[in-house]
């Protein structure tokens, strides 16, 4: 979240990130210089390949909005912030394939509506903590069809579908020593988007209860530790470590059970064990201000894949990812004088490189066979922040 | 801008006029001075504030307008599926089978055509050798060619291989298997003696039509108790470039008539040694699936067709298509896979495809890699060889094909 953060390799757990702290570390909302509103656009073009064959991935595009305000008066120790991502196109797409179908699962269903509201409490001059929630839509429903085969009609066509928000906690603590050394610890809870769909087809002579359910999107528990140092006033160096509990990842496909009312065998496909591993991600960010108002940023992050070698039946394509980032921002006075603390305009560019990975199947008659994984993702965006 | 300009000029004139008026009212002797630049005129307001804010909004708006649809225009409705390993999976039978029917009345292949073996010649032409039976029941081997694998032109003047009186194949020749090394054709075949015992013979040719047979079989039945004690037949010979050896897969019949697929190796294609000998007996490379209850090939396997393939990651693999049957059941074609020459047991240890069979009611497969597809020539059941030789492909052929 945030163009300035993305330019710094997302190493923002230990750095005040303005309103975007609601996502990175709610504790840093306690060190807001003032209220701010941020609006930005971002896009990501994915070029993912399986054995050199292009894989038509879901590109990303959306708008980020964030706002934060320190409360005044007797509540001056409190700050509020909210960050949100609004995708271009559908608010969420939950698409799933059987796990034996080759797929870049972790690059799918990312373009989703998400909101991170948070509250921070500042204690003293150098310490603050915060907490919030991650809100994501989930869905469930049911179908009840009665089909009269003799008369070729469907007298019963009941249908219900609920969009239900799912919640996961976010929390963080932040320390700030004279804006020279800052640090923080943040947590984002595991959250998934699950769909459940029982359907009853009454065909007269036979009744079929079809129950489909599954988790189509998942992010793990994440624990982030970050620190930043400003050795010179214009230079900021930040470093993050994230521990992500990917071992909890479920089978992200749809499990279907078909129960006929008569003596026919039940059809069932139970979830498979994904076998993902927990990972540790390092992130490094540097920002330099050669002149007042201008900020040049760069960063690097390494995202080791949690996906084990797919030598058996599943084919979840992923590999270690190296990400180089660049960014720039310029803060200037509002020429209209409406925005008292000025306006900043930020841009970022990220180049994600998926290291080549070879999958050699254990079975000599695997239907998918051996394949290689590689890819690139190019992301960029612009943001406008009004400092009120 | 024009409106601002007009209004601004008028306002400037008015301000200058006011200054002049004030100066004259004060009785000042000073010359009238122009309007002070420090006084914020409408023009300067527009330039300093309005234009700045306006261009800021325009810039951001234009950037959004241009960039917004870039990723969104590429949202697929459905993710494409990655094409699996072409060499693994079921075959689709061609709509207008058989592609090589029996010959006309009186021809050497008028009663049956069976047991095809297809190779690719230089220039991409396909050549098929097949077992032929005439109206009198004489078994010979004929040949046919095709440019695209669908329309075949048979050499109708006569067979290319015939039985030799007084030899191991005096009762008939059948089940050809061919290797073309760029200059020489090698055809391995089953030779039947008068007692009905099959052996494997070899013939060679420079043009693929005129063959010279080796006088003796290259593979005889195994000893008593062997898996191939009752006869050896249905050869499939391939050259393993990794090992620089010829591999000969064949059907070995035991004393109960049960078939197993056996393996022999050779350096020159003429002298063969059985592979996988344990306790003095050659073990099958692939025997009947006796341990798997209800398997389609639990009683007998045979008629091998072997193909070298390379995985997308460059791994050498072997594919074996074979005929299999249950006791009293019909015959279907199954698939097994093995490692290549890089593995010590490559070509000998085979793993069955779990979703077997890959072609139902079919026997005597010959699989050839053709373009991006695999073509399997086989005999359709229950019509069997009386109907002719049929085609099935891994990827369904389009109507144009």
For B38-106, give the secondary structure using H, E and C: CCCCHHHHHHHHHHHHHHHHHHHHHHHHHHCHHHHCCCCCCCCCCCCCCCCCCCEECCCCCCECCCCCC
CB-defined contacts A:B, below 8 A: 126
Name the closest residue on chain A to residue B46, using Cα atoms: A336
- The answer to whether A126 touches A176, Cβ cutoff 8 Å, is yes
pLDDT score for A165: 81
CA gap B131, B161 in Å, rounded: 9
**Phi and psi torsions of B277, nearest 5°:** -85, 125
Mean of per-residue pLDDT scores for chain B:
83
Query: Which of B78, B286, B313 to mutate: most A Cβ within 10 Å?
Result: B313
Calculated CA dihedral for residues B163, B166, B167, B171, nearest 10 degrees: 40
Q: What does each C-alpha distance from B12 to A206, B5, B6, B333 come to in angstroms?
A: 90, 10, 10, 98
Chain B neighbors of A315, CB-CB under 8 A: 82
What average pLDDT does range B334-358 have in this prediction? 90
Q: Per-residue confidence at B37, pLDDT binned at 50, 70, 90?
A: very low
pLDDT in tens, A200-253: 888 777 888 888 877 777 899 999 999 999 999 999 999 999 999 999 998 887
Domain boundaries in chain B?
Answer: 9-69+86-393
Alpha helices (runs of H) in B264-343, residue ranges in sequence order: none
pLDDT score for B328: 81
CA B245-B370-B311 angle, to 5 degrees, is 60
CA–CA min distance B323, chain A (Å): 17
Chain B neighbors of A369, CB-CB under 8 A: 84-85, 87-88, 311-312
State both tokens at B393: 């492909």
Q: Which residues pair with A181 in a beta bridge?
A: A177, A229
Q: What does each C-alpha distance from B198 to A165, B163, B171 come to in angstroms?
A: 74, 13, 10
Highest mean pLDDT among B18-22, B270-274, B302-306: B302-306
Q: Which residues contact A79 (CB under 8 A, 6 or more apart)?
A: A29, A30, A32, A68, A69, A70, A71, A119, A120, A122, A128, A130
- The answer to whether A230 touches A181, Cβ cutoff 8 Å, is yes
ipTM above 0.90, yes or no: no
CA–CA min distance B60, chain A (Å): 8
pLDDT in tens, B346-357: 889 999 999 999
H or E element, residue B14? helix B2-25
H or E element, residue A23? helix A21-24
Q: Which residues contact B345 (CB under 8 A, 6 or more apart)?
A: B338, B339
Would you say residue B12 has pLDDT above 50? Answer: no
Chain B neighbors of A43, CB-CB under 8 A: 67, 70-71
Chain B neighbors of A103, CB-CB under 8 A: 79, 82
Cβ within 8 Å, pair B79-A372: no
Name the closest residue on chain B to residue A97, using Cα atoms: B79
- The answer to whether B337 touches B318, Cβ cutoff 8 Å, is yes
Q: Which residues pair with A280 in a beta bridge?
A: A243
Partner residue facing A41 (CB), from B64, B84, B312: B64
Chain B neighbors of A384, CB-CB under 8 A: 60
The CATH class of the B9-69+86-393 domain is mainly beta
Q: Any idea which residue has 């050498």 for tokens? A: B316
List, in sequence order, every beta strand (DSSP E) within B121-168.
Answer: 126-133, 139-146, 153-154
Cβ within 8 Å, pair A58-B76: yes
pLDDT score for B354: 93
CA A151-A157-A160 angle, to 5 degrees, is 170
Q: Per-residue confidence at B383, pLDDT binned at 50, 70, 90?
A: low
Residues of chain A with pLDDT under 70: 56-57, 91-93, 137-138, 140-141
- pTM for the predicted model, two decimal places: 0.82
User: Max alpha carbon distance in chain A (Å)?
Assistant: 83
Long-range contacts of the stretch B194-197 (C-beta < 8 A, 24+): B194/B170, B196/B171, B197/B221, B197/B230, B197/B231
Alpha-carbon Rg for chain B, nearest whole angstrom, is 40
pLDDT in tens, A83-101: 999 888 776 667 777 888 8
CA B344-B350-B356 angle, to 5 degrees, is 160
Q: Which residues pair with A239 in a beta bridge?
A: A227, A284
Would you say residue B268 has pLDDT above 60? Answer: yes
- If you ran DSSP here, which 8-state letter would residue A331 be given? E
Q: Any idea which residue has 């010649």 for tokens? A: B121
Cβ within 8 Å, pair A358-B69: no
């Amino acid at each position: 979240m945030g163009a300035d953060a993305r330019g710094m390799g997302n190493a923002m757990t230990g750095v005040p990130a303005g309103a975007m702290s609601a996502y990175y570390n709610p504790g840093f909302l306690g060190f807001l210089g003032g209220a701010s509103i941020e609006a930005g656009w971002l896009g990501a073009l994915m070029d993912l390949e399986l054995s050199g064959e292009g894989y038509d991935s879901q590109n990303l595009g959306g708008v980020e909005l964030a706002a934060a305000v320190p409360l005044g008066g007797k509540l001056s120790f409190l700050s509020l912030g909210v960050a949100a991502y609004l995708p271009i196109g559908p608010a969420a797409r939950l698409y799933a394939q059987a796990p034996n179908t080759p797929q870049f699962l972790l690059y799918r269903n990312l373009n989703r509506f998400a909101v991170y509201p948070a509250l921070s409490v500042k204690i003293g001059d150098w310490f603050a903590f915060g907490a919030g929630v991650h809100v994501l839509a989930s869905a469930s429903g049911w179908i009840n069809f009665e089909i009269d085969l003799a008369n070729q009609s469907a007298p019963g066509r009941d249908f219900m579908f609920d969009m239900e928000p799912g919640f996961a906690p976010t929390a963080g603590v932040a320390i700030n020593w004279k804006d020279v050394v800052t640090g923080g610890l943040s947590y984002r809870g595991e959250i998934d988007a699950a769909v459940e769909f029982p359907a009853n087809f009454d065909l007269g002579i036979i009744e079929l209860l079809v129950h489909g359910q599954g988790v189509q999107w998942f992010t793990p528990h994440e624990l982030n530790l970050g620190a930043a140092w400003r050795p010179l006033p214009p230079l900021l160096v930040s470093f993050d470590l994230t521990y992500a509990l990917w071992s909890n990842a479920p089978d992200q496909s749809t499990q279907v059970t078909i129960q006929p009312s008569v003596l026919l065998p039940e059809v069932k496909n139970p979830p498979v064990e994904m076998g993902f591993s927990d990972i540790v991600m390092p992130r490094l960010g540097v920002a330099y201000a050669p002149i007042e108002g201008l900020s040049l940023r760069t960063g690097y992050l390494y995202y080791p894949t949690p996906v084990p070698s797919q030598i058996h039946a599943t084919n979840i394509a992923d590999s270690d990812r190296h990400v180089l980032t660049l960014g720039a921002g310029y803060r200037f006075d509002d020429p209209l004088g409406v925005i008292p603390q000025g306006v900043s305009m930020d841009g970022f560019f990220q180049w994600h490189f998926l290291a080549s990975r070879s999958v050699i199947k254990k079975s000599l008659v695997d239907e998918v066979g051996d394949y290689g994984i590689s890819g690139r993702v190019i992301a960029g965006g612009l943001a406008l922040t009004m400092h009120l | 801008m024009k409106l601002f300009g007009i209004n601004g000029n008028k306002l400037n004139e008015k301000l200058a006029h006011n200054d002049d008026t004030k100066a004259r009212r004060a009785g000042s002797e000073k010359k009238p001075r122009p309007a002070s630049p420090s006084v914020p005129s409408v023009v300067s307001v527009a330039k300093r504030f309005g234009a700045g804010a306006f261009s800021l909004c325009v810039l951001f708006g234009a950037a959004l307008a241009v960039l917004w649809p870039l990723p969104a225009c590429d949202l697929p409705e459905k993710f494409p599926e990655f094409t699996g390993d072409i060499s693994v999976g079921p075959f689709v039978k061609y709509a207008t089978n058989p592609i090589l029917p029996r010959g006309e009345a009186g021809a050497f292949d008028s009663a049956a055509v069976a047991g095809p073996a297809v190779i690719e010649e230089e220039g991409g032409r396909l050549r098929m050798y097949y077992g032929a039976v005439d109206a009198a029941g004489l078994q010979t081997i004929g040949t046919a060619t095709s440019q695209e694998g669908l329309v075949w032109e048979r050499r109708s003047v006569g067979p290319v291989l015939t039985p030799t009186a007084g030899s191991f194949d005096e009762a008939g020749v059948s089940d050809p298997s061919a290797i073309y090394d760029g200059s020489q054709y090698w055809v391995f075949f089953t030779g039947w003696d008068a007692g009905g015992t099959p052996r494997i013979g070899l013939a060679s040719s420079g043009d693929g039509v005129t063959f010279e047979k080796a006088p003796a079989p290259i593979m005889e039945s195994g000893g008593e108790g062997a898996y191939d004690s009752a006869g050896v037949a249905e050869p499939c010979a391939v050259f393993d470039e990794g090992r620089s050896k010829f591999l000969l897969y064949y059907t070995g019949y035991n004393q109960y008539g049960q078939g197993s697929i056996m393996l022999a190796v050779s350096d020159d294609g003429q002298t063969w040694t059985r592979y996988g000998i344990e306790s003095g007996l050659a073990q099958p490379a692939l025997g009947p699936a006796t341990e798997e209850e209800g398997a389609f090939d639990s009683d007998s396997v045979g008629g091998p067709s072997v193909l070298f393939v390379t995985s997308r990651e460059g791994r050498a693999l072997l594919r074996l298509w074979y005929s299999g049957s249950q006791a009293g059941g019909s015959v279907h074609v199954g698939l097994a896979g093995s490692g290549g020459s890089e593995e010590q047991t490559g070509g000998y240890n085979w793993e069955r495809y779990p979703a077997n069979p890959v072609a139902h009611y079919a026997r005597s497969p010959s699989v050839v890699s053709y373009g991006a597809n695999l073509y399997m020539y086989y005999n359709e059941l229950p019509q069997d060889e009386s109907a002719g030789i049929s085609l099935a492909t891994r990827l369904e052929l389009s109507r144009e094909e």
